[in-house]
A and B are shown apart, each in its own frame.
Chain A
Amino acid sequence: AQSVTQPDIHITVSEGASLELRCNYSYGATPYLFWYVQSPGQGLQLLLKYFSGDTLVQGIKGFEAEFKRSQSSFNLRKPSVHWSDAAEYFCAVGFYNAGNNRKLIWGLGTSLAVNP
């Protein structure tokens, strides 16, 4: 069965430090992969996505993610975190269900706190 795992429930980093949020997936075919960010009380905003091609994808707000097929991972990175990056981050995988409809499987999210 398809699944998405975000191993870190909560991460705290200092402002200016580098960041890596982990995402591992289980899916039999080539996945479509996404990272979304959610500020408190808000909807989800797409940070970046991978469909094919270059395995290192650039997103908004200075984020990037690397697809590693051999490790079934799609980790999110940022070289220097800003206080405004404090939020909940969700990884998702797109797949076809039994009815041939496209859906997303979601990780449970990683909560990021940024110390000044």
Chain B
Amino acid sequence: SQTIHQWPATLVQPVGSPLSLECTVEGTSNPNLYWYRQAAGRGLQLLFYSVGIGQISSEVPQNLSASRPQDRQFILSSKKLLLSDSGFYLCAWRTSGGTDTQYFGPGTRLTVL
């Protein structure tokens, strides 16, 4: 069966510090991968998606970047965090060429102080 992991689970970082959040998927090959941000009391905002290694599409211009160095690894990064980067970050995957069903990881709570 497929599983998706995110770490860390929680993170408190000062403004201006770098960021690296990791997402890995097990039990599937060549998944489509997604990074979402969920601000308090808000819906899901799609940040990036990837259909393959090294292939990243950005949905919203921002302070963040994403990379996919391996088939089942998706990384969200920032060189300098802003207060507005605080939120709940969710990684999701779906089967390439399959239905639209996305499966979510447990999320990372990021607080920028």
A residues sitting closer than 8 Å to B (CB atoms) are 32, 34, 36, 41-46, 49, 51, 90, 94, 99, 101-104, 106-109
| Min distance, Cβ B72 to any Cβ of chain A, angstroms | 17
In the assembled complex, the CB of A10 is this many whole angstroms from the nearest CB of chain B, namely 10
Q: Across the interface, do A43 and B100 meet the contact criterion of CB distance under 8 Å?
A: no
25 CB contacts below 8 A, A to B, read: A32-B100, A34-B100, A34-B101, A36-B104, A41-B88, A41-B109, A42-B106, A42-B107, A43-B6, A43-B90, A43-B104, A43-B105, A43-B106, A43-B107, A44-B44, A44-B104, A49-B99, A90-B44, A94-B99, A101-B51, A101-B57, A102-B100, A103-B46, A104-B102, A108-B42
| B35 close to A (CB within 8 Å) | no
Given A43-B105, A46-B101, A109-B43: A102 touches B32 (CB 8 Å cut-off): yes
Contacts of B43 in A (CB 8 A): 90, 106-109
- On chain A, the residues within 8 Å of B42 by CB distance are 108
Q: What's the minimum C-beta distance from A5 to chain B, rounded to whole angstroms?
A: 11
Chain B residue at minimal CB-CB distance from A101? B51
Interface membership of chain B positions 72-98, coded 1 if the CB is closer than 8 angstroms to chain A and 0 otherwise: 000000000000000010101010000
CA distance A59 to B103 in the complex (A): 15
Cβ contacts under 8 Å, B106 to chain A: 42-43
Q: A32-B100, A43-B105, A51-B99 are in contact. List 18 more A-B contacts (CB 8 A).
A: A42-B106, A43-B6, A43-B90, A43-B104, A44-B44, A44-B92, A44-B104, A46-B101, A101-B49, A101-B57, A102-B32, A102-B94, A102-B100, A103-B49, A104-B46, A106-B43, A106-B44, A109-B43
CA distance A109 to B106 in the complex (A): 18
B78 to chain A, nearest CB (A): 21
Contacts of A102 in B (CB 8 A): 32, 94, 100
**How far, in Å, is B69 (CB) from chain A's closest CB?**
20
